[in-house]
Structure 1
Amino acid sequence: MNLIKAVQMYIDKMIEEAGVGMKILLMDRETTSIISMAFSQTEMLQKEVYLFERIDSGRSNERLKYLKCIVFIRPTRENILRLSNELKSPKYGSYFIYFSNIIPRTDIKALAECDESESVREVKEVYADFLSINANLFSINIPTCLHALNWQSDALDRSVSGIIGVLLSLKIRPTIRYKIGSQVAQTLAKRVFDTINKESSLFSFRPPENGIPPPLLLILDRCDDPITPLLTQWTYQAMVHQLLTIKNNRVDLSNVAGVPSELKEVVLSAEQDDFYAKNLFSNYGEIATTIRDLIESFQKRAKEQKKIETIADMKNFVETYPQFKKMSGTVNKHLVLISELSMKIGKRSLLELSELEQDMVCKPDHSAQLQKIKKLVSEERINVEDALRLILMYSMRYERHANCGTVGLLNSLKERNGRTHLVPKMLEYISQSARSELFNTVKITDAVKLTRNLIKGLKGIENVYTQHVCVLKELLEEIFKGRPIDQQYPFINSSEVPYRRPPTEIIVFIVGGATYEEALAVHQLNQLGYRVILGGTTIHNSETFLEEVIAATNGAPFKHSRSLQAFHNASNA
C-alpha cells in the first residue's frame, strides 16, 4: 500500500519497455505533475530520458527520428485528438503510448487509423492517475469540486478516474461505504461501484482468504468536518502548507526577502529528501531542534572538507564532495523554510491564536472564549485572515448558543475590511450532521492535563496546541475496533453483508479535500500496524479551504434560519 512506489513502478515499466537509447517523454499538464512527484529530472536523465514535452502546449516542429517517444497522458477527448494529429505526422522514430487510466476501445481504434507510418510500438493502460504526495496520501488535484453544494460534472468524472487508478494500482477490489446524508459522497460511491462492475475483468483480483474482509473504500464529505482545515498546524509538512503553501511538492519562496536565487522555489519530496522524509510529521519544537543538529553536523563536515594535505585527502574529497554538496543544499533549504515559518509564527501571534483555537473546538467555555476573540479580532497586530478563522470556528461552535456573539464579531471584522460574507457561507457549507455531532465527538487529549511549559529557544511549541483530534481519526479507530458503523456509513451495495471482523486495509477519500492533519492521523495509525491510505479532491490549508467553501456555496439556496439570516444581514450591512 505504497502509492509513490506504485507510480514509480509504472514509470519504470514504461521506460524499460522503450528499451535502450535516447528518449523523450511526452505528457499533458496532469501527467507532468504525476511524474515530477515520483522522480526528479536528474533521476529521469539517468534513465536516458533527455527531453520533456507537453502535448497540450506549443511544441517545436523539428523532426527527431533518432528519438524514442514515450507518451504518458490522461485518456481525455482532447488528448486523443492531439495524439491523433501527432501520429498523422510523427516527429519521432517510434512511439510507446501509455494512458493513465481506462481508455475506450473506440479511441484505440481511432489512434490506430491515424498511425499510417506504423510508428507506434506499444499502447497500454497504466493506472498512475493521481498525485502521490506521501506513501499513504494522494490527491486528485481539483481545487474546487462543488457548485451549489453538488458535484461539478468534470470534477466528479475526474474523482472517479482518480479513485479507480488508486484501486487498480494497488490491485484492490473494495467494499464501498459512504457518509449517510451526503449526496455528493453517495453519488461518488455509486459511480465508483458501477465502474468497478463495468470493468470487472480489470478488478478480478484474488479475494482475501480465511474470512478476512476485503479492503474498504470509505467516502467522506468535507462538509462533515469543516473545523480541521481551519486550525493552525504544528507539524512540519502541515506548517509549510499552512503558512507557505505546498503545490505539487514545491514551495514558492520568491517573495521571501534575502533568499538566494537557487532557493526561490524548493522541492519538498520524501523520495528525494531524506531529511524531509524523516521529519515531515515532526512538530515545531522537534523540527527546530533537528535543524540545529543538522547544521552542527554540516559544520563538522565542512571543517573536514578543508583538510586536504595528502593524496588520500584529495581522493576522499573528490569521493565525498557530491554528498557534501547535497547536504549543503538540504541544510540551506530547510534553514530558510524553518526561519520563514518562525518569522510568520511570531509576526502573526500564532502561538496565542492556536491556543484559543484549540480551546474553543475542544471544550465549551462560551463567555471566556467570546471575550478573548473580541479582543483579538479588534487588534491590528492580528492578521485579519487569522481573525476570520477564529470567527468562523466560533460561529460554527456556538451558532445555536443563546448569547451567540457572531453578529458583533462580524461588525468588528467589517471595520478591518475582513471577508465577513464568508461566515454565512460557512454556515451554509457545514452539514446538519456536523452541527449535531462535531463538537460532541471532539475529544480533549491527555496533553491538556500536562503542565504547561513553553519550550524556550528553538523548541517553541507546547502540547496544548495539538489537543484537537480530527473526526477521521476517531472514525478509523472505531472501524478497527470492530464497532458497528452501518447506520452512519452504509454500503453502497445494499446486498453487502457486513463481515464479523474489521477490514485490515482502508482507503479513505474526502470529497472537498483532505488535510495534512488527517494525513498525520493516518500515519499514526499506520505506525501501530494498521493499513490506511488517505486521499481527497485536493489537500487543503485554510486559505484553499475557504476558496472551496466559496465555490461550493455559490448558487446554493439560502437557508433562512433565524441565526443565519442575522449573520447574513450583518455581513452585508
Structure 2
Amino acid sequence: MDVVRGVKQYVSRMIAEAGTGMKVLIMDKETISIVSMVYSQSDILQKEVYNFELLSNTGREAMKHLSAICIIRPTIENIDLLCTELKTPKYGSYFIYFTNRIDRGSIEKLALCDDQESVREVKEYYADYLAVGQHLFSFNIDHLTTSGLEYKRVCDGIVAALLSLKKKPYIRYTHSSRVSQRLADDLYRSINHRQERELFDFRSDVPPLLLILDRKDDPVTPLLNQWSYQAMVHEVFGIQNHRVDLSRAPGITKELQEIVLSPESDEFFRENMYLNFGDIGANIKTMVDSFQEKQKSHAKIESIADMKAFVENYPQFRKLSGTVAKHVAVVSELSRIVAEHHLMAVSETEQDIVTQSEKSNHYKNVESLIKNSAVRSVDCLRLVLLIVLRYEGQLKRSEIDHLVKLLRMREIPDQKLDLVDAIMESYREEKRTSKLFESSNPLTMKKFLRGLKGVENVYTRHKPYLVDVLENLMKGKLRESQYPFMGDPLGDKPQDVIVFIVGGATYAEAFAVAQMNSSNQGMRIVLGSNTILNSESFMTEILKSSPRESARERFRQLPPV
C-alpha cells in the first residue's frame, strides 16, 4: 500500500489521456496541494504541461491551441466555475478529472453549459487527499468535529484513499470516542451504499481493516520533543505541504528562507528522514565531504573526455550543491536551538516523566527548568502538561497552581495557561481507552552515538500508544469491547490496515508505522489523519476542544510566588 504512488499514477494517467502536445493544468487551491505533494513543478513540465492555472482565476488569457487538463474537487463552487469556463472556453479542448465521486446532477449541469462541445473527457480519479509519504496521508484540517464541511471533506477523502488503494475494508473504531464512532458509521454507510458497491468491488482473500482511533487516547506523543529528522523539523519549524520556513534563522540567506523537504524529490531526505539527529549530522558531513571531493576532481579538466564528463554531470553537480546547502542550514539551526534552549535537558525530563514514576524528582526538575530563562516558554508549558497527565490524581491542586504561577512569571498568555485545566478536563484517564502510564518501569534507554560536533547524543524511550494498538492487532488481542466492529466482525487477522486518527497524527507515529512495515511482520499499514501535529498545533487543538475561562480567572486571583 502506497498512497504517494496512488496519487502519482492518477495524475500521470490524467496527463497521458490528454494526448501529445502542449497542455495547461487547471486546478483549485486544494488540488494544487494534492498534486504538488507528489510531483515537483519541473517533473510536471517534463510531461508537456505548458502552464499551471487556478480555476478561480477567470482573467486567464485565451489559448485555443492548448488542451486544458482540469484536476478539481467536485464542490459546488468548482462546478459553477467550470460552467462559467465552458460557456466561453479559453482552450481548444477540456479533459475534466474530479478527485472524488460526483453526482449525476452536476454532470448534467456541465453538459448543458458545454455549448461548443469542447469537453473531451469527464472522469473520477480518487486523488482526494494529501499524500504526505508512502504510508501517510492527511487533509490539513486542524479541528475535526462531527458537523460542517470539514467533516464531510474528511469522510469523502477517506473514501477516496480507500478507492485509490483498492480496498473495501472492515471497520473498527474507538468505542469511547463519539467522533470515531460517527465517522465509522458514516464511512460504513458510504462504502456499502448501493450506488457505491461497484466502486468497491475489490477481491481480497483476507479483507483489509480500517481502524479509526482518537487522539485523546494518546495526548503524550504530540507533546514530546522529537529527535528523528522529519519529526524534529516539524516540531521546531513546522512542515506545511513539504515546505519549511527558515526565515527566522539568524543569518539565513534569501534562497534558503523557505525550503522543500520532500521524500519524493530529495534523495538525502528520503534516506535520512527517520534517522536520529546525531546520525543526520554525521551523514550530512559525509555528503559535504563527497561534494568537496567532486569540486576538486572537476577543477582539473585536462581532456575532452574530462570536459564531456563534467558537462554531463553538471545537473547532478548543481543538484548536490543545493541539497548540501539546504540540509546544512536546517541542521545548523536545529543545533543552535538545541544548545541555546537546553533541549537535551528538557527532552530527558520529558522522557523521565512518561516512562518512570518518580513524582517528587520530576516535580523538582520541572520547577527548575521553568525557572531557567534559557529554556523556552513552550517547553516549560509542555513539561507542566506532561506532569499533570502523568500524575493525575496524585498532584495536589496547590502543586499545580504553583507551577502555573511560575509559568505566569514567564509572561505566558492567560489563554495558554488554560491548557492546564483543559488537558485535565478533556484528556483525563476516564475519557481514554488507553492506560498511558500503566507501566512505571523505565524502558531500556537507547543511546545514539555519533561524534559530530554540535549534534549531541539523544535519548528516546517513549513509544506511541499506536504501537501497542497495532501490536495487539497483529496478535489478535485487540479488545472488541474497546475497538468494536462496525457491521460484521472480521474473522482473520488483517494483512492490510488503514489507521485513521481523529484529532491529528504525528511524524513520530508515521516513523513507528514505517518501522513496522519494514519489519515484515505480515501486516501492511497506512496511517491517515485530519492533520499532522506538532506540540504547538496540538496545544491549539486542546484549547479548541475544551475552551475554558474559569481557569484564567482563578489563576488571576492566586497570590504571587
- In structure 1, the residue corresponding to 2:192 is in which secondary structure? helix
* Cα distance change, pair 338–397 in 1 and its aligned pair in 2 (3 A): same
Q: Render the CA deviation track for 1:365-400: whole Å, top value 9, x for unaligned.
A: 100100111111122111111100001111111121
* Cα distance change, pair 45–436 in 1 and its aligned pair in 2 (3 A): closer
The alignment status of 1:523 with 2:514, answered yes or no, reads: yes
Q: 2:41 maps to which residue?
A: 41
Q: Map of 1:87-106 to 2, 5 A cutoff?
A: 87-106=86-105
Deviation at 1:337, TM superposition (A): 0.6
* Cα distance change, pair 406–68 in 1 and its aligned pair in 2 (3 A): same
Q: 1:497 aligns with which of 489, 498, 520?
A: 489
Q: CA RMSD in A?
A: 1.9
Q: 1:483 maps to which residue?
A: 477
Q: 2:129 maps to which residue?
A: 130
Q: 2:242 maps to which residue?
A: 249
* Cα distance change, pair 571–196 in 1 and its aligned pair in 2 (3 A): farther
Q: Percent identity?
A: 45
Q: Give the TM-score, by structure 1 length.
A: 0.92
Amino acid at match of 1:428: E
- In structure 1, the residue corresponding to 2:394 is in which secondary structure? coil
Q: Map of 1:167-206 to 2, 5 A cutoff?
A: 167-198=162-193, 199-206=196-203
Whole-Å separation in 1 of the counterparts to 2:132 and 2:441: 29
Amino acid at match of 2:31: T
Q: Map of 1:412-451 to 2, 5 A cutoff?
A: 412-418=406-412, 419-430=416-427, 432-433=429-430, 437-441=434-438, 446-448=443-445
User: Is 1:66–1:93's contact at 8 Å kept on the other side of the alignment?
Assistant: yes
* Cα distance change, pair 504–445 in 1 and its aligned pair in 2 (3 A): farther
Deviation at 1:60, TM superposition (A): 2.6
User: Is 1:443–1:468's contact at 8 Å kept on the other side of the alignment?
Assistant: no
Q: 2:10 maps to which residue?
A: 10
Q: Give the TM-score, by structure 2 length.
A: 0.94
Deviation at 1:568, TM superposition (A): 7.2
Deviation at 1:423, TM superposition (A): 1.1
Q: 1:569 maps to which residue?
A: 554
Q: 2:462 maps to which residue?
A: 468
- In structure 2, the residue corresponding to 1:272 is in which secondary structure? coil
Q: 1:561 maps to which residue?
A: none
- Larger mean Cα displacement after TM superposition, 453-462 or 372-381: 453-462
Q: Map of 1:259-338 to 2, 5 A cutoff?
A: 259-338=252-331
Whole-Å separation in 1 of the counterparts to 2:245 and 2:395: 45
Deviation at 1:497, TM superposition (A): 3.0
Deviation at 1:571, TM superposition (A): 6.4
The alignment status of 1:236 with 2:229, answered yes or no, reads: yes
Deviation at 1:502, TM superposition (A): 1.4
User: Is 2:342–2:375's contact at 8 Å kept on the other side of the alignment?
Assistant: yes
The alignment status of 1:376 with 2:388, answered yes or no, reads: no
* Cα distance change, pair 12–285 in 1 and its aligned pair in 2 (3 A): same
Q: 1:160 maps to which residue?
A: 155
- In structure 2, the residue corresponding to 1:158 is in which secondary structure? helix
Q: 1:506 maps to which residue?
A: 497
- In structure 2, the residue corresponding to 1:438 is in which secondary structure? coil
* Cα distance change, pair 426–194 in 1 and its aligned pair in 2 (3 A): same
Q: 1:562 maps to which residue?
A: none
User: Is 1:442–1:471's contact at 8 Å kept on the other side of the alignment?
Assistant: no
User: Is 2:357–2:441's contact at 8 Å kept on the other side of the alignment?
Assistant: no
User: Is 2:218–2:465's contact at 8 Å kept on the other side of the alignment?
Assistant: yes
User: Is 2:355–2:443's contact at 8 Å kept on the other side of the alignment?
Assistant: no
User: Is 1:441–1:471's contact at 8 Å kept on the other side of the alignment?
Assistant: no
Deviation at 1:484, TM superposition (A): 4.0
User: Is 1:426–1:549's contact at 8 Å kept on the other side of the alignment?
Assistant: yes
Whole-Å separation in 1 of the counterparts to 2:360 and 2:133: 41
Amino acid at match of 1:520: F
User: Is 2:224–2:350's contact at 8 Å kept on the other side of the alignment?
Assistant: yes
Whole-Å separation in 2 of the counterparts to 1:159 and 1:444: 39
Whole-Å separation in 2 of the counterparts to 1:103 and 1:274: 37
- In structure 1, the residue corresponding to 2:372 is in which secondary structure? coil
Deviation at 1:420, TM superposition (A): 1.1
User: Is 2:288–2:324's contact at 8 Å kept on the other side of the alignment?
Assistant: yes
Q: Render the CA deviation track for 1:294-329: whole Å, top value 9, x for unaligned.
A: 111111011111111111111111111111111111
- In structure 1, the residue corresponding to 2:485 is in which secondary structure? coil
Whole-Å separation in 2 of the counterparts to 1:402 and 1:431: 13
- In structure 1, the residue corresponding to 2:435 is in which secondary structure? helix
Deviation at 1:416, TM superposition (A): 1.3
Q: 1:351 aligns with which of 323, 344, 347?
A: 344
Whole-Å separation in 2 of the counterparts to 1:437 and 1:154: 30
- In structure 1, the residue corresponding to 2:417 is in which secondary structure? coil
User: Is 2:176–2:432's contact at 8 Å kept on the other side of the alignment?
Assistant: no
Structure 1, unaligned runs of 5 or more: 559-564
* Cα distance change, pair 196–453 in 1 and its aligned pair in 2 (3 A): closer
Whole-Å separation in 2 of the counterparts to 1:402 and 1:33: 45
- In structure 1, the residue corresponding to 2:210 is in which secondary structure? strand
Amino acid at match of 2:555: A
Amino acid at match of 1:513: G
Whole-Å separation in 2 of the counterparts to 1:459 and 1:203: 53
* Cα distance change, pair 292–454 in 1 and its aligned pair in 2 (3 A): closer
* Cα distance change, pair 410–454 in 1 and its aligned pair in 2 (3 A): farther
